Amino acid sequence: MSPPSVITCRAAVAWGPGEPLVMEQVEVDPPLPMEIRLRVVCTSLCRSDVTQWESKAQPSLYPRIFGHEASGIVESIGEGVTEFEVGDHVLTIFIGECQSCKHCVSGKSNMCQVLGLERKGLMHSDQKTRFSIKGRPVYHYCAVSSFSEYTVVHSGCAVKISPTAPMDRICLLSCGAAAGFGAVWKVADISKGSTVVIFGLGTVGLSVAQAAKVRGAAHIIGVDINNDKHEKGKAFGVTKFINPDECDEPIQQVIKSMTDGGADYSFECIGDTGAVSTALQSCSDGWGLTVTLGVPKVKPEISAHYALLLSGKTLKGSLFGGWKPKSDLPSLVDKYLRKEINVDDLVSHDMPLDRINEAFNLMREGKCLRCVIHMPDNSCT
Ligand code: APR
Ligand code: ZN
C-alpha cells in the first residue's frame, strides 16, 4: 500500500476567540508514527468547545479547529500502529490513555501522564500541528479537532468500538454523556436509596440523573435556572426540579430543608465555581460527597468555609467521569447497544457541518442539549 499523502478537506476554523467559525479548505498531514488519521463521521458540540472558544486566554492559538466529542473511521495509520486497521470505527478521546504510565497502570486514575489533556493546541508527540491552510499552521483542540472532515490523533487518543453502533449518537459518549455516567457510577459510586442533587441539567447533568436512577437513587433533585429543563429532567429521572431564581431563600437552604439536612451526593454540572461551594453546602454533614464535573468559564478559584470540611463532607474532582477511556468506553457503547443507557434523547439537533455556527448559538442561548454535526460523505479531494 502506498504511504498516505496530505488530504485537503473542509473544516470549520475559528480565526479568533469568539469569532464565528469559517468553512475553510485545510490540508491534513498524514499520520506520524503511532498516530492515525480519521474520517470524522459525526461530532457533537460540547459546552467545553464553546467555553474555550469564548475564552480570550489563549489568543495566540488561532486559527484553530475545535471539536472533541466525535466518532470516525480510520482512514490511514502511522508507523508502529498495530491496534487499529483502516476502516475501524472509533470514538475520539480527549484525555488519552497510553496504558503504560504511572496513572494508566494504576487502578485509580484516568490522568494519563503522556497523553493527558492537551492545552497548547498541538500534537502530544512532536508539539506541532497536523493541519495547515496554505502553509499556515492551524492549531488543534484537546489533540482531537473534530470540526474537520479529517483529523489526525494519537493512537492513544481514540478507541475502537463496535461497528454496529450508530455513529451519530454514540459520539456523545466521547465526552459529555459518559462523564455524567462515570461521575455517578465510578467517581461517587452512589448507593441505592440515596438522595442526589444535580446543579445544571445540560447533557452532563441529565446523564448524572439517568445514572443515579439506574443505581436506584430514591430522590434526584435537579437545579437549573432554565425552566425548560423541568420536563427534560423528569424524562431522565429527576424527581424534583428547583429553579434557584424562583426561591425565596438560598438554594442550599431549600435543599437542606427538603432533605433533612442535606443530600447524600451533589454534582456540579454547570461549570461555575460558585456552584461548587453551593453544592458542598447542599450535602449532608458527616458523609455528603460533592463531585465536580463542570469546567468553569470564569473565576477558577473555589472558595468554601473550612467548617464545611470539618463537618465531614468531601469534595471530589473528576474529569471524564473517571473513566479510563480506552479501557472503559467500549463497554459503555455496548451498554448503549443493549439499550441500558439512553443517549438518543440527549440529542436535540442534527445538522451538517456548514451550519455549525448555529449549533454554537443554540448552546450559548441555552436552547439545545447536544447538536450533532454530520460530516458530508465525499469529503476527500
Ligand atoms: N444555576 C443553575 N443552573 C445553571 C446555572 C446556575 N447558576 N447556570 C447555568 N445553569 C444551567 C444551564 O441552564 C444549563 O441547563 O446549567 C446547564 C449547563 O448545561 P450545558 O450548558 O448544556 O452544559 P453541559 O454540556 O451539560 O456541560 C456542563 O460540564 O463538561 C463540562 O464544560 C462543561 O462546564 C460544563 C459542564
Ligand atoms: Zn498514560
44 and 170 fall within a common domain: yes
**Alpha helices, H only, the chain:** 47-54, 102-105, 167-170, 176-182, 203-214, 229-235, 251-258, 273-281, 307-310, 325-337, 356-364
Site to substitute for ligand 1 among 45, 47, 360, most atoms within 8 A of C-beta: 47
68 and 142 fall within a common domain: yes
Pocket, ligand 1, Cβ cutoff 6 A: 46-48, 51, 176, 179, 199-205, 223-226, 229, 244, 269-272, 275, 293-295, 366
The ligand whose atoms approach the alpha carbon of 109 most closely is 2
Q: Is 332 inside a domain boundary?
A: no
| Buried-state track 60-75, b at ≥16 Cβ within 10 A, e below 16 | ebbbbbbbbbbbbebb
**Domain closes at, from 301, 318, 335:** 318
367 and 261 fall within a common domain: no
The predicted structure's pLDDT at residue 2? 75
CA of 83 to the centre of ligand 2 (A): 16
Q: Which residues of the chain have pLDDT under 70?
A: 1, 378-381
Q: Is 296 inside a domain boundary?
A: yes
Half-sphere exposure for 208 (CA within 13 Å, toward CB):
34
CA of 67 to the centre of ligand 2 (A): 22
CA of 302 to the centre of ligand 1 (A): 17
Q: Is 133 inside a domain boundary?
A: yes
Q: Is 277 inside a domain boundary?
A: yes
Q: Is 233 inside a domain boundary?
A: yes
The predicted structure's pLDDT at residue 379? 45
Q: What is the CATH number of the domain that holds 55?
A: 3.90.180.10
Query: Which one, of 42, 335, 73, lies nearest residue 168 by Cα?
Result: 42
The ligand whose atoms approach the alpha carbon of 95 most closely is 2
Q: Is 31 inside a domain boundary?
A: yes
197 and 302 fall within a common domain: yes
Query: Do the beta carbons of residue 101 and residue 112 sit within 8 Å?
Result: yes
CA of 97 to the centre of ligand 2 (A): 5
**Domain closes at, from 318, 333, 352:** 318
308 and 203 fall within a common domain: yes
Report d(CA 143, CA 133) in Å as an integer.
18
The predicted structure's pLDDT at residue 1? 66
* Closest atom of ligand 1 to CA, residue 295: 34
pLDDT tens for each residue of 170-207:
999 999 999 999 999 999 999 999 999 999 999 999 99
The predicted structure's pLDDT at residue 380? 43
The predicted structure's pLDDT at residue 223? 98
The predicted structure's pLDDT at residue 3? 83
How far is C-alpha 97 from the chain's CA centre? 16
Q: Is 331 inside a domain boundary?
A: no
Q: Is 131 inside a domain boundary?
A: yes
114 and 138 fall within a common domain: yes
* Closest atom of ligand 1 to CA, residue 205: 26
Average pLDDT of every residue of the chain:
96
**Domains in the chain: how many in total?**
2
Reading across the β-sheet that carries 131-133, which strands appear in turn?
7-13, 22-28, 131-133, 136-138
Residue range of the domain that includes 190? 180-318
